Amino acid sequence: MPIYTRTGDKGKTTLANRKKMSKADLRIEALGTIDELNSMIGVVLSVTSNKRQEIRSELIEIQNDLLKIGSNLANPQVTRPPASSLAGEVGRGNQKLAVSSLSKRVKEFEGFIDEMTQQMPKLSNFILPGGGKTGAMLHLARAVCRRTERRIVEFNSKKKIDDNIIIYLNRLSDLLFTMARFANFQEKKKEVIWPA
């Protein structure tokens, strides 16, 4: 089967419920930024040493979370699946991936943030994004995450989505910022204070 389908040649795309919509729709923009963020995290993984296994494992889990969020948003038929539904059944009937588990992930992010923060010097100024390769890429991932969050909030103002998604993305940007600082700290890359 070829990768190209030609179905998007006229600026339309198809959702999980088989509904066609414009690629300029807010839902598609939100899905696109989630995909971009997931790809950016893949770039971070490509430059992150295997010695940083805790960070690598967390980033891979985040990529899976983002696919779950994207799958949830790709099926607009159901606001929340029934408690008895099976997660992972995207495109089957009216079910889509439940995102209630994201609240647990937010707590895990907070624990990881606290753990890394305790090991680094206290931050009392704005810093310029940069540092080593991993740190700089994590700062870029954080910026992409913030844009993703803005697109999701904009979409939420038109079509209500699960609050857990917005909370997750907000905390994820905090985690990526802290990971960037931590990677630079471990590599002994000095943070540049603003104003320098």
Q: Are 85 and 56 in contact (CB under 8 A)?
A: no
| Helix spans in 2-101 (H) | 26-47, 53-74
Residue 62 within a domain? yes
What CA–CA distance (Å, rounded) separates 65 from 148? Answer: 14
What CA–CA distance (Å, rounded) separates 54 from 135? Answer: 15
Residue 84 within a domain? no
The tally of domains found in the chain comes to 1
Domain with 150, as residue range(s), is 22-78+90-194
Residue 14 within a domain? no
Q: What is the mean pLDDT of residues 118-125?
A: 92
Cα torsion angle, 46, 52, 53, 59, sign? negative
**Under 8 Å CB-to-CB from 28, ≥6 apart: which residues?**
13, 21, 22
What CA–CA distance (Å, rounded) separates 183 from 51? Answer: 11
In CATH, what number is assigned to the domain containing residue 63?
A: 1.20.1200.10
The overall longest dimension of the chain from CA atoms, in Å, is: 57
Band (pLDDT 50/70/90 cuts) for residue 124 is confident
Band (pLDDT 50/70/90 cuts) for residue 90 is very low
Residue 4 within a domain? no
And the tokens for 71?
């799958």
What CA–CA distance (Å, rounded) separates 103 from 188? Answer: 33
Looking at mean pLDDT, say which of 1-5, 85-89, 143-147 comes out highest. 143-147
Q: Are 107 and 168 in contact (CB under 8 A)?
A: no
Q: Considering the chain, what is the average pLDDT of its residues?
A: 87
Residue 56 within a domain? yes
Residue 12 within a domain? no
Residue 131 within a domain? yes
Of residues 52 and 95, more confidently modeled:
52
Q: Are 68 and 105 in contact (CB under 8 A)?
A: no
Residue 2 within a domain? no
